[in-house]
Amino acid sequence: CDTAVTCTMNVASGARECGECPIGLQQVPDSALSSGWRCGEVDGCAEEPCWSSGDFFRPCMDVLAPGTGRVCGECPAGFAAGADGLGCVDVDECAQTTNGGCWVSPEDPTVLAKSANELVRTALSARLMKYR
């Protein structure tokens, strides 16, 4: 039997009986033991992986025995944790109060800035011409 389990002898049959693996461990094949198995770590990430979508994923960290399950890392940039606490949802940055740093107008801000500068220069030139 694996050292993590209780081994008892069945008096009637004379056979050795191995107990259950502790929480966080599971039976995995092992031909070196007479039972044919040993207790191995349950991979919480393999059992229930964290969220992923295309090239985006949420890192998964297995909880080691005697714990069980997994812990999901942060969602990638541009995503936020979903209501279930496990998934990630795309963040609409333009819907945020700061407009996600986007320009308020659909027009290119550099074009508008150039236009504003040209208007100021034209107004100043007209004023200067008036006083010559």
What percent of the chain is modeled with pLDDT above 70?
A: 72
Give the pair of three-digit tokens for residue 81: 């944790």
pTM over 0.75: no
- What was the pLDDT predicted at 28? 92
User: Which band of pLDDT confidence, cut at 50, 70 and 90, is reported for residue 111?
Assistant: very low
Q: What is the pLDDT of residue 53?
A: 82
Cβ within 8 Å of residue 33, ≥6 positions away: 1, 2
> Which neighbouring-strand residues pair with 8?
17
d(CA 7, CA 16): 7
Q: What is the mean pLDDT of residues 33-43?
A: 88
